[in-house]
Amino acid sequence: MTHVHNDPAAFKDQILRGFAAAYPAHVERVEGASGFVRAGGPGEGKVSLLIGGGSGHYPSYNGVVGTGFADAAVLGDLFASPSAEQVYRIGRAADGGAGVVLSFGNYAGDRLNFAVAADRLRADGIDTRIVFVTDDIASGPAEEPEKRRGIAGTFTVYKIGGAAAEAGLDLDGVERVMRAANAATFSFGVAFDGCTMPGADAPLFHVEPGQMDFGLGIHGEPGISSAPWMPASELAAQLVERVLAERPEGVSGRAAVLLNGLGATKYEELFVLFGDVAALLADAGVELVAPEVGELVTSLDMAGCSLSVTWLDEELETFWTAPADTPAFKRGNAVATQRTRPVRREVPEDDAAAAEEASEASVAAAAVARRAVAALHATVEEHKEQLGQLDAVAGDGDHGIGMSRGATAATEAAEATQGGVQTVLSAAGAAFGDRAGGTSGILWGVLLDGVGQGLGNTEPVTTARAVEAVRSAVQKLQTFSKAEPGDKTMLDALFPFVDALEAEVRGGAALGPAWRAAAEVAVRAADETAALTPRIGRARPLAERSVGTPDPGAVSLGMIVSAVGVVLDDLRPAS
Amino acid sequence: MTHVHNDPAAFKDQILRGFAAAYPAHVERVEGASGFVRAGGPGEGKVSLLIGGGSGHYPSYNGVVGTGFADAAVLGDLFASPSAEQVYRIGRAADGGAGVVLSFGNYAGDRLNFAVAADRLRADGIDTRIVFVTDDIASGPAEEPEKRRGIAGTFTVYKIGGAAAEAGLDLDGVERVMRAANAATFSFGVAFDGCTMPGADAPLFHVEPGQMDFGLGIHGEPGISSAPWMPASELAAQLVERVLAERPEGVSGRAAVLLNGLGATKYEELFVLFGDVAALLADAGVELVAPEVGELVTSLDMAGCSLSVTWLDEELETFWTAPADTPAFKRGNAVATQRTRPVRREVPEDDAAAAEEASEASVAAAAVARRAVAALHATVEEHKEQLGQLDAVAGDGDHGIGMSRGATAATEAAEATQGGVQTVLSAAGAAFGDRAGGTSGILWGVLLDGVGQGLGNTEPVTTARAVEAVRSAVQKLQTFSKAEPGDKTMLDALFPFVDALEAEVRGGAALGPAWRAAAEVAVRAADETAALTPRIGRARPLAERSVGTPDPGAVSLGMIVSAVGVVLDDLRPAS
């Protein structure tokens, strides 16, 4: 139960405020952004490590900003990815001129938002690398590590990366070391009960009383097996056996070991378990190097724990045992790097497009675009409750709220922005992505911006170019998201939509009728996501998990393209 | 809910084992004892700080053993005082030749056990001081700080004391600084829900859902007021107002501030609350010095938090901000003190008494003493369930189990020990105190040992000397416990018993009949403790708290003296 909060919608901002008040000697809030850099700003000529993800996992991520660890952290709403805009802003503030590594656990929303932010940072001339962590062996097969989620092993990978950057390695070096650390890190967890979001009166998910759910994710993603309660010694054997089964060939046997508590599983329980774990690891010839027992990656008040093992070579061991000084984790005698580069607070105005003289046709299209965004907004508001209820079946029930937040911001931005259709749609997309957050936010942000870029501010708006703009935006989305058909995301409605749109136009239909016909296809495709086995769900009895409901992202996409179709007859394409 | 354990009876020992495995670079387990000293042993010529209490409060106490903080920690069973024997053993191991400060929160069981241990350490030539912490303003009036319990403010007092010892202050100096720190520390807490002991399927106590219980203690001791849920900003105002109300005159305004989570109230909630707390403190002109937000003194998975403020002068601030390096708390760059004195592992045999040739009469009395201890044991076993049920009404239900553990050990020790009645009863008392733990353990330990010392090994065992031995043991108990009649402890049955015994003997009765008459008085006095308002209870609706049940310690005392009376006719006193 989360008892302490004010307005649940302001929870994340109030976490940031309180954290900044507690640790001014360690961190500095980046003004107007959801995150922190080290107090004093980035080190000149030093690679910076920016870590982040949803909030609710303290001390991850802001708790480990400091000497020898992260240079900066960015936080999204509870369990939701930070927006690309926020990652970008903190990334700029964190850069010391030697480039930035963005690192995070492998979740769809984070992958998308950090990828978009990396593109923007690179466009600003900041060399940016991405290392996502895939330590959770329960979430994918060994042969497909990129399908594995990041859980408590993220802590070790970030620690090692932060120490490598502190030691003066260049960007290639830090990236290489972090990839090596990730490849050497294996975690396996168990859950006993779920956590409760602020303001909610029931947990986000449940584990059956008297049961343990192995491999259950830190946001309640489904586990791989359930078992009745067992004593700590048997639990230790289960965790150790699973993690050691993936011990790579040729490793030295020296390992960084974490026994992580998720929030309500307390230190005393962790030490009882660690006594058994340490004995089993010693029996298996593992030498523990500076192990940690405690709360490193939490999930509010979730009950459960995980074992992480990072197999160390000489280089990884040096960085794992190196000094660190952060609010929540300190080791040895850390000496702060000299800071000489001021924090870059301002985000440059992207006036290239705005400066262009928009053509009359593009300004006319921009007016239609504003009405399309307004139609999107009205539809989202109308179906907000329904989308929330759909999402509550398999998710955390905030899809309606997130879409509403994004659509409201997009409408305001579109109304406030003058110029051609690209300028207006890009502004709407940026606002949507930043305010909605999470996966839906970035998908809609990229989609709106992508369509705008496809249409441009000067060229004539033809039916063919409109279709091409949608297609290129969808391709951009696929590139960022790496989503495949059947992944049960909004793309499962979007791909059939754009195929149908192209086919209709190729068959001679005008844009409006073609769009409306394609929208019907999208709505049907959204319904069909109910028949798919969910790849990401929440902890429920295993038997219930494949009885799908439609994906709320796909459903809202169907609704929105249907609503937008109504205004497109006014576009009056040039040919 | 405590999910991870093996045998709940072995929980504490398994915590110790796991902790030792996790942090060998920081701590060293004192062989055969329930605690730790710093790795490498005590510093030659340095004052040592030994802290302790019941387990279940990690990182208190073992988590903060290390450079700049505690030199050693001793742990009792969950929420139960460590035995005097354990405190004594760890105290010997921790001494570096410059004396030891024993520090703990102000609870009856800890007061007793640490006082007895201090006497033994002093008898070994180790200068020993006691500083108990009284920061909880909800548990007693400002004019009677010695009635106030120790909660999260213990952390600040120990930190400051540890730094003072590290800085080389002598024993007087460290004691003085710690007393000043305690006098400057004020805490106020709120609870949202109780914690569950390992193996139990229901919490030890409850807070009504939707309620907040202000001032509720970390073991569920009753609070001072309940209120419906309120937002974090209002909660912050309540905590700040109460703590600032006790701001001493003339303080500088600079303060060490802790916002402590009890276990299930997580970091995100604490930061939200701290944002409001910090703003209110700033408004009141308080300057925060190195504040801490997190879990410092926990109660397993209890939900709740507390605010602690320590008003700093220059000296206290120096020690509060000084470096520290412990498993769970680190600050700045701590340089370990050189260790040159080996850990004293052996406890000296107390053979003064054993070496004495016991008189025939004393050896005969020793045989009766063995049968008395056996009668005590049989009575405890017979009523174990009943005592547990009685204790569960207002306590944690372990009185029967604890007494059984102690009585079993006492019987074994009495059987295994040869010699006079002092030797046998002292051995029984030591075993009882060590194995029973908590308050009952030390009370019975002191009582058995005290009677033995009163009788001696050489002198004739007369009725008058027997009565005098009981009286002197009871006086010793009162000196240690500082208990007053009406405090609702076993002393409420013991005082009337010894008064009645003396009166009966003075009236000419023989020891056996006098004892049995006095036992009846003790049983009635035990029943009458039900009519008293409990001074220490558990969280229940306020209305129920004064509807007392008899104190289990008083009830078991009545039972035991009744049972022992049966064998005393065999004592055949010399006159």
The domain tally of chain B equals 2
Q: Is B245 exposed, middle or buried (0-12, 13-18, 19+ CB in 10 A)?
A: exposed
- Residues A203-233: pLDDT tens digits? 888 888 899 999 988 888 878 899 999 999 9
Residue A540 confidence (pLDDT): 43
**Cβ of residue B59 closer than 8 Å to a chain A Cβ:** yes
| Domain end marker among A270, A298, A331 | A331
Torsion angle, alpha carbons of A403, A409, A410, A415, to 10: 150
Residue A292 confidence (pLDDT): 97
- Residues A355-388: pLDDT tens digits? 678 999 999 999 999 999 999 999 999 999 888 8
> Is residue B2, in this structure, part of any structural domain at all?
no
Q: Is A525 exposed, middle or buried (0-12, 13-18, 19+ CB in 10 A)?
A: buried
Residue A375 confidence (pLDDT): 94
**Cβ of residue A268 closer than 8 Å to a chain B Cβ:** yes
Residue B454 CB partners (closer than 8 Å, separation 6+)? B465, B468, B469, B470, B471, B472, B473
Interface of A with B in 65-94 (CB under 8 A): 78
Q: Cβ contact (<8 Å) for B4 and A298?
A: no
Residue A17 confidence (pLDDT): 96
Residue listed under structure tokens 């570096």: B96
Distance in angstroms (rounded) separating the CA atoms of residues A280 and A232? 12
For residues B294 and B413, membership in a common domain is answered with: no
Handedness of CA A425, A430, A431, A432 (dihedral sign): positive
Average pLDDT over residues A169-175: 98
Interface of A with B in 306-325 (CB under 8 A): 325
DSSP state, residue A149: P
* Termini Cα distance of chain B: 60
Taken as a whole, chain A contains a residue count of: 575
Q: According to the 3-state scheme, what is the secondary structure of B510-567?
A: CHHHHHHHHHHHHHHHHHHHHHCCCCCCCCCCHHHHCCCCCCHHHHHHHHHHHHHHCC
Kindly report the CATH number assigned to the domain that includes residue A229. 3.40.50.10440
| Contact between residue A310 and residue A163 where contact means Cβ atoms under 8 Å apart | no
Residue listed under structure tokens 């989308």: A387
At residue B361, φ and ψ (nearest 5 deg) are: -65, -40
**Cβ of residue A290 closer than 8 Å to a chain B Cβ:** yes
For residues A317 and A410, membership in a common domain is answered with: no
**Cβ of residue A287 closer than 8 Å to a chain B Cβ:** no
For residues B312 and B357, membership in a common domain is answered with: no
Q: Which residues of B403-436 are buried (b: 16+ CB within 10 A; e: fewer)?
A: bbbbbbbbbbbbeebebbbbbbbbbbbbbbbbbb
Instruction: Please give the average pLDDT of every successive group of 10 residues along chain B, which has 575 residues.
Output: 91 96 94 91 92 97 96 94 94 96 94 92 97 96 91 98 97 98 98 91 86 90 90 98 96 97 97 98 97 97 97 98 96 72 70 71 92 95 88 74 92 95 94 87 92 92 92 88 76 93 94 94 88 44 52 90 87 63
| Average model confidence (pLDDT) across chain A | 90
For residues A143 and A85, membership in a common domain is answered with: yes
Beta-strand ranges (E) seen in B262-408 are 287-288, 292-294, 303-311, 324-325, 330-331
Residue B220 confidence (pLDDT): 82
For residues A54 and A193, membership in a common domain is answered with: yes
Instruction: Decide if pLDDT at A259 tops 60.
Output: yes
SS3 of residue B231 by DSSP: coil
User: CA-nearest residue of chain B to A198?
Assistant: B269
Active-site residue identified among A26, A57, A206, A219: A219
> Is residue A100, in this structure, part of any structural domain at all?
yes
Interface of B with A in 218-247 (CB under 8 A): 229, 231-233, 235
**Cβ of residue A56 closer than 8 Å to a chain B Cβ:** yes
Q: Which residues of B437-452 are buried (b: 16+ CB within 10 A; e: fewer)?
A: bbbbbbbbbbbbbbbb
Q: Cβ contact (<8 Å) for A231 and B192?
A: no
Q: Cβ contact (<8 Å) for B21 and A274?
A: yes
> Is residue A343, in this structure, part of any structural domain at all?
no
For residues B314 and B459, membership in a common domain is answered with: no
Residue B55 confidence (pLDDT): 95
Distance in angstroms (rounded) separating the CA atoms of residues A215 and A544? 17
According to DSSP, the residues that pair with B228 across neighbouring strands are B211
Distance in angstroms (rounded) separating the CA atoms of residues B188 and B151? 9
Instruction: Decide if pLDDT at A196 tops 80.
Output: yes
Listed residue (A451, A292, A280, A340) closest to A98, CA to CA: A340
Kindly report the CATH number assigned to the domain that includes residue A556. 1.25.40.340
Residue B542 confidence (pLDDT): 38
DSSP state, residue A144: -
For residues A448 and A536, membership in a common domain is answered with: yes
Q: How confident is the model at residue A544 (pLDDT cuts 50, 70, 90)?
A: very low
Q: Cβ contact (<8 Å) for A3 and B292?
A: no
| Three-point CA angle A343, A347, A349, nearest 5° | 150
Residue listed under structure tokens 């004594």: B88
Q: Answer yes or no: A206 catalytic.
A: no
Q: Cβ contact (<8 Å) for B4 and A265?
A: yes
Q: Which residues of B102-128 are buried (b: 16+ CB within 10 A; e: fewer)?
A: bbbbbbbbbbbbbbbbbebbeebebbb
Residue A288: list chain B partners with CB under 8 A: 21
> Is residue A239, in this structure, part of any structural domain at all?
yes
Distance in angstroms (rounded) separating the CA atoms of residues A304 and B410? 40
For residues A382 and A296, membership in a common domain is answered with: no
Q: Which residues of B141-180 are buried (b: 16+ CB within 10 A; e: fewer)?
A: eeeeeeebbbbbbbbbbbbbbbbbbbbebbbeebbbbbbb
Two tokens, residue B277: 């707390």
Show the domain range for B48: 8-331
For residues A219 and A356, membership in a common domain is answered with: no
Q: Which of B1, B2, B3 to mutate to test the interface with A (most CBs of A within 10 A)?
A: B3
For residues B262 and B173, membership in a common domain is answered with: yes
Q: What is the ipTM of this complex?
A: 0.90
Q: Cβ contact (<8 Å) for A22 and B292?
A: yes
Give, to the nearest 10 degrees, the angle between helix A108-123 and helix A84-94: 50
User: CA-nearest residue of chain B to A234?
Assistant: B6
Distance in angstroms (rounded) separating the CA atoms of residues B556 and B383? 8
| Domain end marker among A299, A331, A363 | A331
**Cβ of residue A192 closer than 8 Å to a chain B Cβ:** yes
> Is residue B191, in this structure, part of any structural domain at all?
yes
For residues A47 and A129, membership in a common domain is answered with: yes
> Is residue B22, in this structure, part of any structural domain at all?
yes
Longest CA–CA span in chain A (Å) reads 77
Distance in angstroms (rounded) separating the CA atoms of residues B573 and B468? 13
Q: How far is A103 from chain B (nearest CA, A)?
A: 21
> Is residue B416, in this structure, part of any structural domain at all?
yes
> Is residue A471, in this structure, part of any structural domain at all?
yes
For residues A361 and A246, membership in a common domain is answered with: no
CA atoms lying within 13 Å on the CB side of residue A384: 12
Residue B340 confidence (pLDDT): 60
Distance in angstroms (rounded) separating the CA atoms of residues B506 and B494? 18
Average pLDDT over residues A410-416: 95
Interface of B with A in 1-30 (CB under 8 A): 1-7, 11, 14-19, 21-22, 25
Residue B346 CB partners (closer than 8 Å, separation 6+)? none
Two tokens, residue A515: 């769009």
Give, to the nearest 10 degrees, the angle between helix B399-416 and helix B360-394: 170
**Identity of residue A12:** K
Residue B205 confidence (pLDDT): 82
Residue B330: list chain A partners with CB under 8 A: 330-331
DSSP state, residue A86: H
